[in-house]
Chains A and B, each alone.
Chain A
């Protein structure tokens, strides 16, 4: 199965990288027309940076707007970050220290991921206001991520994957070749799902994170009056 998956993975990583760079390049090239910061804005560039960092890690704005959306959204994003970190274990036989530190919590993290996504999906289905603005893509993004997360949870809790073999396979991918990988339908679907997300990410609303850093309402510091 390794030969079958390898090109998909490599191509989707190229799409992810080039697509993201293109989106960022096009955004940065788009001029900021006017000073439109939402006041009170931070007084300095450093203040703006801190606010954007805080926003990216804790979502204080969303917290003010809707506590439930914040709860599900934040749990999902934090668990996604941890999941990505934990996935670094598949790059080396002895995991890096940070990764090793998080590995014992894998099952909590995957439950958090599933719970966050389920909460977001439930809100989208149950709250009239959200249903009104939702398009098929909005549901599909959540369902896709949910499917990947559930598959990943199964895989991490079963013995069906030979981790040693998988690590050798991942390392072979880094050399743009393809080592042997035993057939495993769930793993194939899990990886396929991830490839779809990689390809969709730069060209969809999933790219909202990087965009938020360049929004003139938040990225312009307060102007001195003198």
Chain B
């Protein structure tokens, strides 16, 4: 591979407007003091986060991570090697906060945060999807996502926020979801889905909204309400819950599982957005909290939410937030629902492990549940299941190329290039095993793949929601 330094230096997301910045409590634009503000924030962040301190101090430049990032593999730009991405921050940290960096900067490669470096921060911290594949291979476990999150938070705080992510956080705060979809529109969409499913199955499968008699609140990524193939996943959840006879509801107030606050590394925003979910659950008086197919939402729900808010009101049998795949898996295991794989006979499927589920969470209560639960379900509902190369699945899975707040049109070139490693692995099983569909359980993965598939000679609809495959094979009606 021939390195192409700065090959992606032109790829950066649109800056947030001054108004969007102020709405979120960030500086509207760069002030005259931006440099000292940034340096001070950097010092604070490092002293407040052990993960970040280790990232700044422990890298021995061994190179283990250099060929592990999908953006590097897809672009050949060495600035996309995880260590080089960390170095953007590390070199500045050393310049201002270490002895050698202050007095012998040439020796350790310490650099000043000048305008050129600031531009590189904005460019390359927005070429990290925070998927953490590199940290799996780092001998000391340095987490590059912590670096890019901190970098973006500093950028946003001094006046260089990213338009796409800021906009979305604003919409969640005002409307309750990433799309800015108001309650009545949501109710209307759900009504339409009820009609569709009635027509297809002849059964009155409901999509309840703000139903305070429900015992279970389902929080889905808002893409599930309208985007393809997401909506077929939502239909799958509804079929499963209907068939199991569980009373459930969606919420207008918390009509979004995704939490873009995480992508900016802004803890206050992440917390505010996550708190909406607890508020909705309390308001509706539900006893169970279940999340739909969304990777980083599950990370927030499983790892952060229980630390941030009090969830004591949940049923003692289900004291923690659950993932819809866990719920379905348990129902299937206990025989409360059944699958008829012949319904999926036309399909040969493979499974894309989504980065946040694969490397940040678990499913069920077993060590490898996040790998086995979706696979168990897929195999039970489809006879033709094929794995992609082991180097690209499970803990080593490749990011779809659109995660971490990069799922925006102006970054399309990066997204296509970043998808290449996954697409190569998929192309292999398509060729060798005639795989027809790749299944994912993350809203960003699904949106990203349906956009980039045509660039790789695949149809946009070759990506499916996990619960679409499950819903299609679900044995409906009175079978118990």
| Residue interface bits A122-154, CB-to-B below 8 A is 1, else 0 | 011001111011111110100000000000000
Main secondary structure, interface of A, reads helix
Contacts of B1 in A (CB 8 A): 128
The listed residue with most A CB atoms (<10 A of its CB), out of B1, B61, B62, B358, is: B62
Q: Check B139–A59 contact: CB distance below 8 A.
A: yes
Contacts of B3 in A (CB 8 A): 128-129, 132
State the CA gap A203–B48 with chains docked (Å).
Answer: 20
Q: Check B140–A40 contact: CB distance below 8 A.
A: no
Contacts of A134 in B (CB 8 A): 61
Q: Check B53–A27 contact: CB distance below 8 A.
A: yes
Contacts of B470 in A (CB 8 A): none
B81 nearest CB across to chain A (Å): 6
Contact of A31 among B50, B303, B365 (CB under 8 A): B50
State the CA gap A26–B50 with chains docked (Å).
Answer: 10
State the CA gap A163–B3 with chains docked (Å).
Answer: 52
Contacts of A216 in B (CB 8 A): 50-51, 54, 143
Interfacial residues of chain B within 128-156, with CB under 8 A of chain A in the complex: 132, 135-143, 146
Q: Check B5–A132 contact: CB distance below 8 A.
A: yes
Known: A40-B368, A212-B139. A30 touches B58 (CB 8 A): no
Q: Check B64–A61 contact: CB distance below 8 A.
A: yes
Contacts of B368 in A (CB 8 A): 40
B66 nearest CB across to chain A (Å): 4
Contacts of A36 in B (CB 8 A): 51, 143, 146, 303, 360
**B313 contacts the other chain (Cβ, under 8 Å)?**
no
Contacts of B51 in A (CB 8 A): 32-33, 36, 215-217
Q: Check A38–B359 contact: CB distance below 8 A.
A: yes
The listed residue with most B CB atoms (<10 A of its CB), out of A26, A32, A66, A136, is: A66
| Residue interface bits B45-84, CB-to-A below 8 A is 1, else 0 | 0111111011001111111111110000000001001011
A141 nearest CB across to chain B (Å): 9
**B362 contacts the other chain (Cβ, under 8 Å)?**
yes
**A208 contacts the other chain (Cβ, under 8 Å)?**
yes
Chain A residue at smallest Cβ distance from B317: A226
Known: A30-B47, A211-B54, A214-B54. A66 touches B63 (CB 8 A): yes
**B367 contacts the other chain (Cβ, under 8 Å)?**
yes
Interfacial residues of chain A within 49-85, with CB under 8 A of chain B in the complex: 55, 59, 61-62, 64-66, 69, 73
A221 nearest CB across to chain B (Å): 11
| Residue interface bits A22-54, CB-to-B below 8 A is 1, else 0 | 010011001111111011100100000000000
State the CA gap A31–B307 with chains docked (Å).
Answer: 15
Contacts of A180 in B (CB 8 A): none
Contact of B58 among A43, A128, A215 (CB under 8 A): A215
Contacts of B247 in A (CB 8 A): none
Q: Check A35–B141 contact: CB distance below 8 A.
A: no
Q: Check B61–A33 contact: CB distance below 8 A.
A: no
Contacts of A211 in B (CB 8 A): 54, 57-58, 140
**B436 contacts the other chain (Cβ, under 8 Å)?**
no
B35 nearest CB across to chain A (Å): 23
Contact of A133 among B81, B107, B136, B146 (CB under 8 A): B81
Q: Check A40–B367 contact: CB distance below 8 A.
A: yes
The listed residue with most A CB atoms (<10 A of its CB), out of B47, B63, B135, is: B63
Chain A residue at smallest Cβ distance from B308: A34
Contacts of A23 in B (CB 8 A): 57
Contacts of B303 in A (CB 8 A): 34-36, 223
Contact of A33 among B48, B67, B100 (CB under 8 A): B48
**B361 contacts the other chain (Cβ, under 8 Å)?**
yes
Contacts of A27 in B (CB 8 A): 50, 53-54, 57
**B253 contacts the other chain (Cβ, under 8 Å)?**
no
Q: Check B304–A35 contact: CB distance below 8 A.
A: yes
**B350 contacts the other chain (Cβ, under 8 Å)?**
no
| Residue interface bits A182-226, CB-to-B below 8 A is 1, else 0 | 000000000000000000000111111001101111100011111
Q: Check A61–B53 contact: CB distance below 8 A.
A: no
Q: Check A129–B63 contact: CB distance below 8 A.
A: yes
Q: Check A208–B59 contact: CB distance below 8 A.
A: yes
Contacts of A226 in B (CB 8 A): 319-320, 365
Q: Check A62–B47 contact: CB distance below 8 A.
A: no
Q: Check B50–A30 contact: CB distance below 8 A.
A: yes
Contacts of B48 in A (CB 8 A): 30-31, 33
Q: Check B362–A208 contact: CB distance below 8 A.
A: no
The listed residue with most A CB atoms (<10 A of its CB), out of B66, B135, B395, is: B66
State the CA gap A129–B61 with chains docked (Å).
Answer: 10
Contact of A218 among B60, B141, B319 (CB under 8 A): B141
State the CA gap A124–B62 with chains docked (Å).
Answer: 8
Q: Check B61–A130 contact: CB distance below 8 A.
A: yes
A116 nearest CB across to chain B (Å): 13
Contacts of A217 in B (CB 8 A): 51, 135, 141-143
**B109 contacts the other chain (Cβ, under 8 Å)?**
yes
Q: Check B135–A212 contact: CB distance below 8 A.
A: no
State the CA gap A212–B141 with chains docked (Å).
Answer: 7
Contacts of A66 in B (CB 8 A): 62-64
Known: A34-B303, A62-B62. A137 touches B108 (CB 8 A): yes
Q: Check B78–A135 contact: CB distance below 8 A.
A: no
State the CA gap A131–B364 with chains docked (Å).
Answer: 44
Q: Check B108–A135 contact: CB distance below 8 A.
A: yes
**B370 contacts the other chain (Cβ, under 8 Å)?**
yes
Chain B residue at smallest Cβ distance from A224: B365
Chain A residue at smallest Cβ distance from B371: A40
State the CA gap A12–B404 with chains docked (Å).
Answer: 46
Chain B residue at smallest Cβ distance from A47: B367
State the CA gap A212–B84 with chains docked (Å).
Answer: 19
Contacts of B215 in A (CB 8 A): none
State the CA gap A69–B138 with chains docked (Å).
Answer: 12
21 contacts between A and B (CB under 8 A): A26-B53, A33-B51, A40-B370, A61-B139, A62-B139, A65-B68, A69-B64, A73-B62, A128-B2, A129-B3, A132-B81, A140-B107, A204-B108, A207-B58, A208-B58, A212-B139, A214-B54, A215-B141, A216-B50, A216-B143, A224-B365
Extra contacts besides A40-B370, A132-B3, A211-B54 (19): CB < 8 Å: A30-B48, A35-B304, A39-B358, A61-B64, A61-B141, A65-B68, A124-B63, A130-B63, A133-B61, A133-B63, A133-B66, A208-B58, A208-B139, A211-B140, A212-B139, A215-B51, A215-B142, A216-B50, A225-B364
10 interchain residue pairs of minimum CB distance:
A135-B109, A65-B64, A65-B137, A212-B140, A211-B58, A217-B141, A129-B66, A218-B141, A35-B303, A130-B63
